[in-house]
Amino acid sequence: MYFIVVKFPVKPDATEQWAALVDRFTTATRAEPGNLWFEWSRSVDDPDEWVLVEAFADDGAGAHVGSDHFAAFVAEAPRHLVRTPRIVSRQVEGDSWDVMGELTVEGDA
């Protein structure tokens, strides 16, 4: 699985609209073959930072980066950002989320 986490430092005047601004990009990426998940969250430490966690079944991120919706996002996003996003992208074993071994919830199936 190809696992990617990206931190987007969004301009304060665009923070509240960020989810709407990236909706078309998000929807198109989730529909890509091999996309396992594509999830946005907001940082609890910095309300103007949005964090994207995404995964692909293999190195399918190459096709993602070559897509029209990715190109449109890359062209539009910089005007809403304070600086270049920071990324961690790695090939990892597995094909889904694993259950956390250090913490369990009683009755969890």
Look up the CATH number of the domain holding residue 66. Answer: 3.30.70.100
Domain residue limits at 37: 2-91
Residue 63 is assigned to a structural domain of this protein: yes
Total domains present in the chain: 1
Question: Across 32-104, where does the E strand assignment appear?
Answer: 35-42, 49-56, 86-91
- Would you say the C-alpha torsion 20, 31, 88, 78 has a positive or negative sign? negative
Whole-model pTM: value is: 0.91
Weakest-pLDDT range from 1-10, 60-69, 84-93? 60-69
Task: Report if residue 43 sits inside a domain.
Answer: yes
The first and second tokens of residue 20, run together, are: 């709407």
Model confidence at 15, pLDDT cuts 50, 70, 90, reads: very high
pLDDT in tens, 71-91: 999 999 999 999 999 999 999
